[in-house]
């Protein structure tokens, strides 16, 4: 009996010691993690700037000009008055001021970086967001050590929301740029900036997702999504890895309150730096142009084309006389690679083409009727409102349905004729279309008695008649044609 008691006591001692050792190890691990974040802050902070922008505006008496294009301040005015007084950052005019020209103050962040041609002895370039400095009459930047400089805009690109400002001073520390294409979901990242005017604020999180291209913020998107806290004022600041190298530029948040909700977006530094270097070298961005309409391969479409899911993008339309047309690209081709780089998503492919210098030659690998072919294309120059490789307008929110252009394979699948109408690929439950009995697989031949030949024409016909809030559709399902009138 004594032996049993001794063994039990010994076991309890060993377990307790093991638990204490594990606890000490966990605490030590947390200490090391904290030291890593502190090290990043020490390395990065000297290169991050607070940007203050003054703009002219016309404000009526008693109206508030809310900064950042957002809703009311998430914590109300009182909190910020306690820190900043009556005229806290953001430039909200006080009630009682007369209508007329007012000077509002906006704010954001930025960081020093080395241009492609290296650092200059008398000029420092700072990367930030276009929306931070757009329309600025004057720009002032402040470094962590208290030094302040007047800055001017070197170049802006609203389509990507990237801008470069410059100050006439040299010898300022520049951040290293990482290769954002190697970033993986789950990696630690650190955001540094000036949220709500609170300078040199550090937040920590992980990469939640990469390649977000349908956010609807910019024309050219390839966002890094992170749960590191990003708030108004963080715009333009760096998102860095644990080595202190920039992986992205903080740009936007998803928020219903105007404040942090766990979803932030950053422009990958590979894209941002490519745009920034063009702005420095020529003051503008010249984008490559193909002249095609593309769409994502849904599982059903991939099955129809006998292609592995998630591989390639579908060519829905080729603009006559465009570089793609001259290269022999056809409607119904599936682009699976561009310059030997796999193509899996529309947004990243569009960005890759856009960043290809006009006049250079590229290689398109396509699947056509089950066979793989390689086409050589001379990239054109994007002009005016043209799109590098546009996506067909497919949505009809008022009706609750989605359509696609009838490519030859789709036409064969649905017993239709290519170029005659559009096929309904999805119908939202409970929508106008669903209540009218419209089903996936129906072919819409006419909108308000006008023939439609592709998804773009369908979208335009709806848009032209949107004010009437009703539409007449001619549909065919199988061998049966019928009219459907919808009102919203």
Tell which residue, 312, 92, 347, has the closest CA to residue 217.
347
Helix, strand, coil percent values for the chain (each to nearest 5): 25, 35, 40
Count Cβ atoms below 10 Å from residue 202 Cβ, excluding itself: 18
- Cβ neighbours for 84, distance < 8 A, ≥ 6 positions apart: 197
The phi, psi pair for 467, rounded to 5°, reads -65, -25
Return the closest-CA partner of residue 152 out of 164, 143, 169.
164
Integer Cα distance of 161 and 414 in angstroms: 42
- What is d(CA 401, CA 198) in angstroms, rounded to the nearest whole number? 46
CB 91 within 8 A of CB 104: yes
Among the listed residues 112, 39, 103, 108, the one whose alpha carbon sits nearest the alpha carbon of residue 68: 108
Contact by Cβ (8 Å): 452, 444? yes
In the chain, how many H helices and how many E strands? 10, 27
* Helices of type H across 393-465: 408-414, 432-435, 455-464
Positions marked active-site: 131, 161, 235
DSSP secondary structure letters along 75-137: T-HHHHHHHH-TT-TTTPPPTTPPSEEEEEEEEEEEEEB--TT---SS-EEEEEEHHHHTT-S
Q: Tell me, what DSSP letter sits at residue 357?
A: P
**Six token digits for residue 251:** 């740009």
Structure tokens at 413: 């699948």
Between CA 305 and CA 366 the distance in angstroms is: 12
Could you give the C-alpha distances from 345 to 3, 212, 310, 337, in angstroms and in order? 69, 10, 8, 11
β-pairing, 124-129 vs 162-167, is antiparallel
**Quick count: other Cβ atoms within 10 Å of Cβ 42?**
10
Give dist(CA 45, CA 53) in Å, integer: 21
Helix extents (H) in 373-479:
408-414, 432-435, 455-464
d(CA 402, CA 131): 32
């Amino acid at each position: 009996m004594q032996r049993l008691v001794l063994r039990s006591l010994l076991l309890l001692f060993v377990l307790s010691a093991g638990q204490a050792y594990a606890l000490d190890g966990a605490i030590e691990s947390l200490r090391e993690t904290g030291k890593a974040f502190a090290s990043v802050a020490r390395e990065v902070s000297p290169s991050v700037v607070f940007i203050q922008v003054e703009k002219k505006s016309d404000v009526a008496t008693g109206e508030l000009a809310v900064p950042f294009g957002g809703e009311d301040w998430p914590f109300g005015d009182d909190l910020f008055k306690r820190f900043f007084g009556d005229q806290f950052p953001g430039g909200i005019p006080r009630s009682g001021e007369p209508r007329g020209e007012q000077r509002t103050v906006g704010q954001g962040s930025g960081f020093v970086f080395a241009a492609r041609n290296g650092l200059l002895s008398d000029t420092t370039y700072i990367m930030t967001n276009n929306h931070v400095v757009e329309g600025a009459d004057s720009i002032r930047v402040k470094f962590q050590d208290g030094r302040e400089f007047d800055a001017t805009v070197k170049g802006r690109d609203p389509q990507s929301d990237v801008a470069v400002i410059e100050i006439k001073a040299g010898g300022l520390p520049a951040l290293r740029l990482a290769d954002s294409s190697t970033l993986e979901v789950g990696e630690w990242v650190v955001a540094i900036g000036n949220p709500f005017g609170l300078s040199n604020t550090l937040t920590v999180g992980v990469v939640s997702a990469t390649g977000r291209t349908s956010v609807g913020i910019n024309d050219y998107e390839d966002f890094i999504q992170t749960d590191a806290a990003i708030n108004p004022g963080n715009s333009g600041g760096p998102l860095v890895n644990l080595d202190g190298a920039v992986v992205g530029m903080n740009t936007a948040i998803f928020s219903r309150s105007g404040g942090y909700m766990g979803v932030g977006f950053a422009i990958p530094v590979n894209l941002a730096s490519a745009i920034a270097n063009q702005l420095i070298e020529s003051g503008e961005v010249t984008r490559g142009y193909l002249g095609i309409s593309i769409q994502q391969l849904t599982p059903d479409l991939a099955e129809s084309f006998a292609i592995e899911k998630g591989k390639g993008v579908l060519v829905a339309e080729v603009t006559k006389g465009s570089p793609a047309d001259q290269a022999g690209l056809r409607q119904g081709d599936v682009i699976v690679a561009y310059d030997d780089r796999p193509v899996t998503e529309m947004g990243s492919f569009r960005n890759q083409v856009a960043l290809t210098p006009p006049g250079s030659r590229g290689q398109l690998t396509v699947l056509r009727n089950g066979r793989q072919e390689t086409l050589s294309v001379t990239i054109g120059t994007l002009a005016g409102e043209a799109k590098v490789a546009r996506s067909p307008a497919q949505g009809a929110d008022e009706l609750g349905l989605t359509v696609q252009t009838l490519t030859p394979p789709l036409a064969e699948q649905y017993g239709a004729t290519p170029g005659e109408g559009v096929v309904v690929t999805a119908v939202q439950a409970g929508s106008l279309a669903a209540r009218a009995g419209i089903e996936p697989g129906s072919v819409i031949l006419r909108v308000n008695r006008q023939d439609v030949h592709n998804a773009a024409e369908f979208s335009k016909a709806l848009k032209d008649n949107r004010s009437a809030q009703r539409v007449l559709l001619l549909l065919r399902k199988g061998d049966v044609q019928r009219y459907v009138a919808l009102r919203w």
